[in-house]
Structure 1
Amino acid sequence: MAMTTVARTDTVARRFRRIGGRWIQRLGLLPAGVPDARGDDAALVAAGPMTEQVVVYFGSTADTVYQLEQWLPVLEQLDAAHPVLVVTADSRSARRLRELTRLRVVTVARYATFDDVLAGSDARLALYVNHHVQNFSLMRFAALTHVSLLHGDSDKVVSVSNQAKAYDFTFVAGRAAVDRLDAHLRHFDAAARCVVIGRPQAAPAPRPRRDDDPITVLYAPTWEGAQTSAAYGSLPTHGVALARAVAADPGLRLVYRPHPLTGVRSPEYGEADAAVRSVVAETGQRISAGGPLAEDFAAADVLVCDVSAVAVDWLATGRPLVLTQPGDADTPAMRGALAQAVTRLPSVGAVDAAALLRREVELDERADARREVAEYYLGDISPGSASRRFLEACEAILAGGEPPTAGAVPEQADPSRA
């Protein structure tokens, strides 16, 4: 009798947890970053094995859709020859992605659903734009070739995560990424596992300007990072002083583009963001609408940013770059080739940044150094070349072969060690 009562109580408790969980999902009360698990599983299982050859997996929530958004144009090109399916773990992410792309987007909430839709399917290639722990729900399938794309290249510590070892290949922008992984990851053969494709998102962007035109300064700081070791953001140390310095100079105008995740982990960054926005509003400057990064690039004469993928992509424009310098100027990121090739701005210099920014644009004394480092980080930046290499690498895998890895192409020396 006692056992029957315990079993009945346990069943009731499970039922309440299940019902409670559903209401939490429906009311949007999940903790930040937790997928809502509202999937299309039943319909997917009923439809049988998937027909697409390429799966793009996105396990994150809607606030990080920007990580995948930047890859959508080239994925749509791939879809023209090899059907692409975008799989999310969160229905809110799927809803946002459907607004951005014509690719088919579905949500898989149950681990076992992949067994049903992949068995006997045409899928051969899986692509990932971050290292989310949810990736492993798909990475367990050995019949797929798993490729890490990430969402930009930089000298941040997260670019050399040990998680790179989990993928069959890592598609990287340039030789800098290969050398970085080779130097920092133990038991990882970067030459054999990295495929250099360039950055389809980065392209030359000439911007002719007249001497009497105001200089447009794009300030695009990164966020606080998911952990202390990845805290490269300049908002608390540089933000307000920099914004005031630029706004006070009639020959300069400011465009402020904060990172989409600013303040999600650190109240200090959220407060600094609010303070910069206040300065921008009071002085008639502009806040970016948050559209494609290329649009803000096209309208700027000089970029001020932190160690981030934004800095690397900007190199392709050929225009001046000022890199903010954290309190510890001797961090590994600041010893990288990019940081050595461009002008750096310590926090104490932010109040006088206007004169420095004018000099960067008017004299551009580091143009040759930037061109050299751009090739090292991005490879061939001629229009369309990176997209072509991406498509060719995918084609090789889908044909049952292997793409040409970094070890098969001539090495390029790190400019900072020349």
Structure 2
Amino acid sequence: MPSAGLVPRRVAQLSALLAMFALFTAQIVSALLPNIPVFVAASAAGLALDTYLQYRDPGLLALLGKVRFDALVRQLLRDMMILVGLLRIDGIDPLREQAPLLIGLCVFYAVHFACQGVSVLVRRSRTLPIVTRNIDASALRLSTAPPRILARRQAHRLLTFSVPITTGLLVTAATQDATWGGIGLGASLTLLVAGTAYLASWLLPKKRAKNEQQVMEWLDGWLEKYRPTTAMYFSGGTSSAYQANMWLSTLSQLEKPLIVLRERFMVQKIDATDVPVICFPKVSTMFSLENSTLKMMLHPANAAKTSQVLRIPTIKHAFINHGESDKLSSCNPYAKAYDEVWVAGPAARDRYALAEVGVEDKDIVEVGRPQLAPIRPYAGPPTRPFTTVLYAPTWEGWDGNPGNTSVVLAGENIVRRLLADEKVRLLYKPHPMTGSVDPRAGVANERIKAMIREANTKRSGARPSAEAAAELTRRTADLDKLTSTSFRSSADEMERMLLQGTPSGDREAAIAEATLAWEKAYWASFPEWEHLIVTEARPAIFACFNEADLLISDVSSVVSDWLSSEKPYAVANTSGMTETAFRTGFPTVSAGVVLTPSAAEVPALLEAVRNPEKDHFTQARADLKEHLLGPSDPPSLVRFDAAVRTLCAKADDRRVRMESRLAAEIPSPRGAADELTGEPSEAEPSDAEDAFSSAESR
């Protein structure tokens, strides 16, 4: 079932397509009759609609491209119909007046194709073998990008530059004066020729970047100067960048860190950071890391391209995952491909042992979860008028297991029970991938949102002042300025590399401070009685943790992270298992309340949150926290740093052993000659010389 906002958009898109075909039909019929007013109006309206959609809804026109009715075909058909119409209009000499117009139109299309060829050459010349960020790459002769309409938007260029031609030809049809058509053709040709020449200037040496060999030599020099020791390797799809972003703050604390990516688009998906970023789209370029000072790599996710970097023998690899839960995905057999598997605490060690996926216990290292530091600890029962409940269900997953998410079978019941309590303030933060696999989850998600919006209409009370909203606006602008780079629409990969050179100052500390200020302003901008639907990247899940008194979630890493606060929580059981089996199968549930699909347990759960003497899981949560996340002392970041240094030392030891073995296996050229002649080498004295030296020393 499509969302409410999607239906009007689909109707508008269908109406636009029908209007386009109706205008083509009117143009053809009126050209053959001929009916000059209808002909002129249909031709002009067709070009105007096509150009408008090209700028406002290119995705819709992309559908026409799939059936080979793209912008070029549409414009050729439109111009052909105009020429047919001119043939049918009395007063225009076909040979003396219309023939030059036809020739001029052919020349225009020839120049258009020439411009397209130049644009391909320019794009290729601006595609470097690597992409960087937070690295000064000015030595590569980086330059700003040409206008996008010339370099990358063939359809926009054709339709935009066709406007003078079509206008001139239509005026000719209305006045029977071919001069207007000639003026339109001259204007379009002049603009297109000038644009092509301007675009071709990016092929000149001054604007052209260095070739692949020169770029890789520059990178080798930068690596030698920077001397990285630890890198985070990441590869994935457009929606998976969060898996790497959650480790940025931890990575930035290490000495000489580096981020290694494989997909070009991912360079801009990584959040604001001072850590240098290098993207290696090709395997051959990535192997330049083999001769660098890099000792180890951290892997927050398994990906198809991970196997490629594991081939580099000089680098040690540690799997750090992007969150731990009781799901089988947290014990992927692929983990045995790494040198070590870093987990939060003893629970994950036990999980791997039970899973029997080939990961040996000696290769598991407990490092805690360093990124959980911002989560505030439990400070007692709610003291505010409203008990804030965070409902953060996970998504449906790939395996179709109904127990993955509570949204479908229990979500509406959970929300209905919470909204029935007048002293509850609900924060609803669904997983961003909800509904991506099972449409029922998307439908239930929309219904839950509608329930929350309706509940808000039934509440009233004092609202924050206008100053609070103004403060949030100011804090948002400050944070956006720190976390985002403003690129003009024409900016390409090379221009972004130029603009995202070496960062100035300690940006990450400034971002952390600005984020805290933004979060404070965000919560203050809403009345404390208003339910909130949180679907944007901000506020982050940890900020919601700090605002909430109770968490309701599913079996996911959200529960493990929440336990660092030791606040009460509940987990929905939609798996069909009994409560005993559910608790046994999923240890993270053992210190929380289990909710059935009917959510009948919610009132008692809220009562226990408000009255700690009725909370029977206080000590269990503290014990489970240590079991899942490890001890609080030493801090997780200290343990993580120690694990990094230990694995780097193992990489150093291996290099020393390999160098010694290689030196022993490959004799020196002089030594090889001595073996043939039987003469001792200068580096290795003869027995007589050894005896003489010994006697002399005595």
Q: TM-score, normalised by structure 1?
A: 0.80
1:381 to 632, 636, 642: 632
1:96 to 250, 256, 269: 269
Matched, 1:286 2:532: yes
Partners of 2:594 and 2:215 in 1: how far apart? 52
Give RMSD over aligned pairs: 2.8
- Which amino acid counterpart does residue 317 of structure 1 have in structure 2? S
Partners of 2:630 and 2:321 in 1: how far apart? 17
Specify the alignment match of 2:556 in structure 1. Answer: 308
Cα displacement (A) at 1:48: 3.5
Cα displacement (A) at 1:154: 1.0
CA contact (8 A) 1:68 1:151 kept: yes
Moved more, 247-256 or 99-108: 99-108
Specify the alignment match of 1:84 in structure 2. Answer: 257
Distance 1:263 1:91, change over 3 A: farther
Specify the alignment match of 2:590 in structure 1. Answer: 340
Unaligned runs of 5+ in 1: 1-18, 27-36, 403-418
Specify the alignment match of 1:274 in structure 2. Answer: 446
Specify the alignment match of 1:53 in structure 2. Answer: 229
Specify the alignment match of 1:131 in structure 2. Answer: 302
Cα displacement (A) at 1:196: 0.4
Partners of 1:346 and 1:227 in 2: how far apart? 21
Distance 1:269 1:44, change over 3 A: farther
Cα displacement (A) at 1:84: 1.6
Specify the alignment match of 1:69 in structure 2. Answer: 245
Cα displacement (A) at 1:281: 2.0
Partners of 1:391 and 1:306 in 2: how far apart? 31
The structure with higher relative contact order (CA 8 Å, sep 6+) is: 1
State the identity as a percent. 28
Specify the alignment match of 2:605 in structure 1. Answer: 356
1:390 to 616, 621, 640: 640
- Which amino acid counterpart does residue 388 of structure 1 have in structure 2? V
Tell me the secondary structure at the aligned position of residue 321 of structure 2.
coil
Distance 1:224 1:302, change over 3 A: same
Specify the alignment match of 1:224 in structure 2. Answer: 396
Unaligned runs of 5+ in 2: 1-115, 133-211, 457-530, 653-698
Structure number with bigger Rg: 2
Distance 1:252 1:332, change over 3 A: closer
Partners of 1:210 and 1:187 in 2: how far apart? 46
- Which amino acid counterpart does residue 590 of structure 2 have in structure 1? Q
Cα displacement (A) at 1:111: 1.6
1:145 to 316, 325, 330: 316
Partners of 2:646 and 2:601 in 1: how far apart? 52
- Which amino acid counterpart does residue 93 of structure 1 have in structure 2? M
- Which amino acid counterpart does residue 586 of structure 2 have in structure 1? G
CA contact (8 A) 2:331 2:355 kept: yes
Specify the alignment match of 1:171 in structure 2. Answer: 342
- Which amino acid counterpart does residue 244 of structure 2 have in structure 1? L
Q: TM-score, normalised by structure 2?
A: 0.49
Partners of 1:401 and 1:124 in 2: how far apart? 6
Partners of 2:131 and 2:273 in 1: how far apart? 18
CA contact (8 A) 1:146 1:169 kept: yes
- Which amino acid counterpart does residue 201 of structure 1 have in structure 2? Q
Distance 1:145 1:340, change over 3 A: same
Cα displacement (A) at 1:187: 3.9
- Which amino acid counterpart does residue 194 of structure 1 have in structure 2? I
Tell me the secondary structure at the aligned position of residue 370 of structure 2.
coil
Cα displacement (A) at 1:119: 3.4
1:97-246 equivalent positions in 2, closer than 5 A: 97=270, 99-115=271-287, 117-190=288-361, 192-203=362-373, 204-208=376-380, 211=383, 213-228=385-400, 232-246=404-418
CA contact (8 A) 2:290 2:312 kept: no
Cα displacement (A) at 1:101: 1.3
Distance 1:149 1:44, change over 3 A: farther
| Structure holding more strand per residue | 1
Distance 1:237 1:206, change over 3 A: same
Specify the alignment match of 1:319 in structure 2. Answer: 567
Q: What number of residue pairs does the alignment pair up? A: 363
Specify the alignment match of 1:413 in structure 2. Answer: none
Moved more, 357-366 or 145-154: 357-366
Specify the alignment match of 1:297 in structure 2. Answer: 545
Residues 168-191 of structure 1, C-alpha deviations (whole Å, 9 max, x = no match)? 00110000000110111244312x
Residues 312-363 of structure 1, C-alpha deviations (whole Å, 9 max, x = no match)? 1111101101011123225677523322332100102x26624433334423
Partners of 2:583 and 2:235 in 1: how far apart? 28
Distance 1:39 1:268, change over 3 A: farther
Partners of 2:616 and 2:418 in 1: how far apart? 21
Cα displacement (A) at 1:309: 0.6
Distance 1:279 1:135, change over 3 A: same
Distance 1:92 1:60, change over 3 A: same
CA contact (8 A) 1:341 1:370 kept: yes
CA contact (8 A) 1:61 1:92 kept: no
Moved more, 83-92 or 221-230: 221-230
Distance 1:45 1:280, change over 3 A: farther
Tell me the secondary structure at the aligned position of residue 446 of structure 2.
helix
Cα displacement (A) at 1:219: 0.6
Distance 1:38 1:276, change over 3 A: farther
Tell me the secondary structure at the aligned position of residue 301 of structure 2.
coil
Partners of 2:418 and 2:649 in 1: how far apart? 53
- Which amino acid counterpart does residue 218 of structure 2 have in structure 1? A
